[in-house]
């Protein structure tokens, strides 16, 4: 639940007070430059070690009583690109104690350092353990009395824990029933309104969501969260694909293709993470979070290739592939979303394998009807270590979505430009919205790296959150 995700952040890992007994941490590009800050014994020890101050190398020094007296962290770069989370990750590995960062240079982003420090403690293994704030005494504490915007950094860490926990939960736990319970907890935590649509009401009002999810014993549903800022607030609608498990339907995936399909709800997890950050930051926003929640299963009730399904918008969709189900549930959700005014309309979805082929696992492709906002988003992604890249709504590819028997098909057979044709499919249900953004995320980290453990990963959220914060005060 959300409370478990948040309680594991351990906010007391950073202190805003100036701790008199804190152990100093010195950053070095050459140990001769910090010689005066060290005892002669410690300096000579570093020389004997051959400490070369290479970026990320570190050494713990002791006093004559065997107690830690200082820590040296190398910052000499021998290549151009280093993870901005690297130093924070290193500091998280320090022995128990309170540490004061003495001479951190301006080239190191203190906010990303702290975020890397927080995120390095993440482990899904302790999801069900009762870890209370301040009780985990094995962790180091950073003393940062002049820390700017600690609250925002903490909220980003909280969002990441929420997103990672949800993606990492196996599908036998995180099914549509559990997801609804989780979202209820989320709404209670933030004191926001929740509406749930299921059963005959879902079949009548969201027919595509019903069709995709009807084969599962865990019934499909539509979840709507509403956060009201004020009548004059900026309106944002966040839509997340909530396929709790994707077998591929009758177009059954291979065993390897199905292995990580518990993560096919990473879009829904992402919009909850982003909403958490925006609400906690107390921005003047009206937020709607819309989650179509289903399992794409196989049974006698499964929708079939060749079926024609009528969407909420009235458009007919010819089913070419039941494994292209995400765009179907998002289509009905987008139609519903545009029936009310919204300034920004956003979808997050682990939608296509083509996006991975184009961008790999680290870079999140996105589509935007506003090039101005897309440029801002790209800059924010670079700043927040959350790389994103714009792909085009290339209108000529709309022909690939045509159908000889109804309005459009859900999966062009050619297999080319799959991420673009999927985005164009979604765009048809936006009522030509002037500020529509679609993120085709992966939501998964294939190997452990600084501040990123193997498994579920939040992507696109930090970049969009920062872009929203920059956009609202200047333009709305």
Question: Could you tell me the pTM of the whole model?
Answer: 0.94
With vertex at residue 192, the alpha carbon angle to CA 341 and CA 456, rounded to the nearest 5 degrees, is 90
Closest Cα partner for 238 from 196, 199, 204, 285? 285
Whether 172 and 134 share a structural domain: no
Structure-block tokens of residue 416: 């080319």
Closest Cα partner for 157 from 216, 98, 226, 88? 88
pLDDT confidence of residue 106: 79
- Mean pLDDT over residues 409-437, rounded? 96
Is 366:270 a contact under the CB 8 Å cutoff?
Answer: no
Please give the Cα distance from 198 to 376 (Å, whole number): 38
User: How many independent structural domains does the chain possess?
Assistant: 2
Is 125:17 a contact under the CB 8 Å cutoff?
Answer: no
Please give the Cα distance from 436 to 461 (Å, whole number): 16
pLDDT confidence of residue 476: 47
Closest Cα partner for 315 from 330, 327, 332, 303? 332
Q: For 111, which DSSP code?
A: H
Write out the residue range of the structural domain in which residue 26 sits.
Answer: 2-148
- Mean pLDDT over residues 167-181, rounded? 97
With vertex at residue 112, the alpha carbon angle to CA 107 and CA 117, rounded to the nearest 5 degrees, is 120
Is 408:331 a contact under the CB 8 Å cutoff?
Answer: no
C-beta neighbour count of 410 within 10 angstroms:
26
Q: CA-CA distances (angstroms) from residue 66 to 63, 70, 86, 138, 267? A: 5, 12, 28, 19, 50
Whether 141 and 160 share a structural domain: no
Whether 143 and 241 share a structural domain: no
What is the overall mean pLDDT for the chain?
A: 92
Would you place residue 132 in the very low, low, confident or very high pLDDT band (cuts 50, 70, 90)? very low
Is 244:218 a contact under the CB 8 Å cutoff?
Answer: yes
Whether 144 and 157 share a structural domain: no
Considering 84, 221, 327, 471, which one is annotated as catalytic? 327
pLDDT confidence of residue 473: 56
With vertex at residue 146, the alpha carbon angle to CA 145 and CA 147, rounded to the nearest 5 degrees, is 95
- Mean pLDDT over residues 322-344, rounded? 98
**pLDDT exceeds 60 at position 87:** yes
**Is 253 considered catalytic here?**
yes
Q: For 346, which DSSP code?
A: E
pLDDT confidence of residue 134: 40
Cβ-based burial of 469 (10 A; exposed 0-12, middle 13-18, buried ≥19): middle
Residue 359 sits at φ, ψ, to 5 deg, of -120, -10
- Mean pLDDT over residues 351-380, rounded? 97
What pairing do the DSSP bridges indicate for beta strands 364-368 and 436-440? antiparallel
pLDDT confidence of residue 129: 60
With vertex at residue 36, the alpha carbon angle to CA 34 and CA 39, rounded to the nearest 5 degrees, is 105
Whether 160 and 52 share a structural domain: no
First and final C-alpha spacing in the chain: 35
Of the candidates 130, 148, 166, which is a domain's last residue? Answer: 148
Would you place residue 127 in the very low, low, confident or very high pLDDT band (cuts 50, 70, 90)? low
Whether 312 and 433 share a structural domain: yes
The answer to whether the Cα torsion of 50, 55, 58, 61 is positive or negative is positive
Please give the Cα distance from 218 to 238 (Å, whole number): 24
**pLDDT exceeds 60 at position 475:** no
Whether 240 and 116 share a structural domain: no
CATH number at residue 51: 3.40.220.10
Whether 131 and 217 share a structural domain: no
Instruction: Tell the residue number behind the tokens 């820590």, with chain if given.
Output: 71
Of the candidates 125, 148, 171, which is a domain's last residue? Answer: 148
pLDDT confidence of residue 187: 97
Whether 140 and 158 share a structural domain: no
Is 206:227 a contact under the CB 8 Å cutoff?
Answer: no
Would you place residue 146 in the very low, low, confident or very high pLDDT band (cuts 50, 70, 90)? confident
pLDDT confidence of residue 224: 98
**pLDDT exceeds 70 at position 93:** yes
**pLDDT exceeds 50 at position 133:** no
Structure-block tokens of residue 35: 């010689």
Is 246:352 a contact under the CB 8 Å cutoff?
Answer: no
Considering 253, 356, 383, 449, which one is annotated as catalytic? 253
The order of strands in the sheet holding 14-15 is 14-15, 140-143, 97-101, 23-28, 68-74, 58-62
Q: Which residues does 246 contact at the CB level (< 8 Å), separation at least 6?
A: 253, 258, 261, 264, 295, 296, 323, 325, 326
Of the candidates 97, 113, 148, which is a domain's last residue? Answer: 148
Whether 57 and 87 share a structural domain: yes
State pLDDT tens for residues 226-254. Answer: 999 877 789 999 999 999 999 999 999 99
Whether 178 and 105 share a structural domain: no
**Is 17 considered catalytic here?**
no
CATH number at residue 233: 3.40.630.10
**pLDDT exceeds 80 at position 135:** no
Whether 192 and 133 share a structural domain: no
State pLDDT tens for residues 423-435. Answer: 999 999 999 999 9
């Amino acid at each position: 639940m959300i409370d478990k995700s948040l309680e594991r952040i351990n906010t007391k890992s950073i202190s805003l007070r100036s701790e008199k007994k804190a152990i100093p941490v010195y950053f070095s590009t050459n140990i001769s430059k910090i010689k005066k800050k060290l005892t002669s014994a410690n300096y000579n020890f570093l020389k004997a070690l051959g400490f070369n101050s290479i970026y990320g190398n570190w050494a713990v020094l002791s006093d004559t009583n065997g107690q830690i007296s200082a820590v040296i962290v190398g910052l000499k770069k021998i290549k151009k690109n280093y993870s901005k989370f690297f130093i924070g990750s290193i500091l998280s590995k320090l022995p128990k104690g309170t540490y004061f960062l003495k001479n951190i240079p301006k080239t190191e982003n203190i906010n990303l350092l702290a975020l890397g420090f927080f995120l390095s403690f993440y482990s899904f293994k302790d999801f069900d353990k009762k870890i209370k704030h301040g009780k985990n005494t094995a962790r180091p504490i950073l003393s940062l009395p002049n820390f700017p915007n600690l609250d925002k950094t903490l909220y980003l860490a909280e969002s990441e824990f929420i997103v990672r926990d949800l993606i990492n939960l196996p599908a036998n736990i995180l099914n549509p029933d559990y997801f609804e319970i989780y979202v209820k907890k989320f709404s209670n935590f933030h004191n926001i309104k929740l509406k749930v649509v299921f059963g005959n009401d879902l079949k009548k009002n969201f027919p595509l969501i019903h069709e995709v999810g009807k084969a599962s014993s865990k019934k499909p549903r539509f979840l709507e969260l509403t956060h009201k800022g004020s009548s004059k607030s900026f309106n944002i609608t966040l839509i997340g694909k909530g396929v709790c498990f994707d077998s591929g339907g009758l177009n059954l995936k291979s065993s390897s293709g199905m292995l990580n399909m518990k993560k096919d709800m990473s879009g829904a997890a992402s919009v909850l993470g982003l909403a958490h950050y925006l609400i906690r930051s107390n921005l003047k926003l009206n937020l709607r979070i819309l989650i179509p929640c289903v399992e794409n299963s196989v049974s006698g009730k499964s929708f079939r290739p060749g079926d024609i399904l009528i969407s909420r918008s009235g458009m007919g969709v010819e089913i070419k592939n039941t494994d292209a189900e995400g765009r179907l549930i998002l289509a009905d959700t987008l139609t519903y979303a545009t029936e009310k005014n919204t300034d920004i309309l956003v979808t997050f979805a682990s939608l296509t394998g083509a996006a991975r082929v184009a961008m790999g696992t680290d870079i999140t492709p996105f589509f935007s009807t506003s090039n101005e906002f897309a440029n801002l988003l790209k800059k924010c992604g670079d700043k927040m270590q959350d790389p994103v890249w714009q792909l085009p709504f290339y209108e000529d590819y709309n022909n690939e979505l045509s159908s000889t028997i109804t309005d459009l098909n859900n999966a062009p057979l050619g297999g080319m430009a799959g991420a673009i044709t999927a985005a164009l499919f979604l765009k048809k249900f936006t009522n030509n919205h002037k500020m529509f953004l679609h993120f085709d995320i992966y939501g998964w980290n294939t190997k452990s790296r600084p501040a990123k453990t193997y498994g579920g990963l939040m992507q696109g959220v930090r970049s969009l959150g920062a872009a929203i914060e920059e956009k609202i005060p200047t333009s709305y």
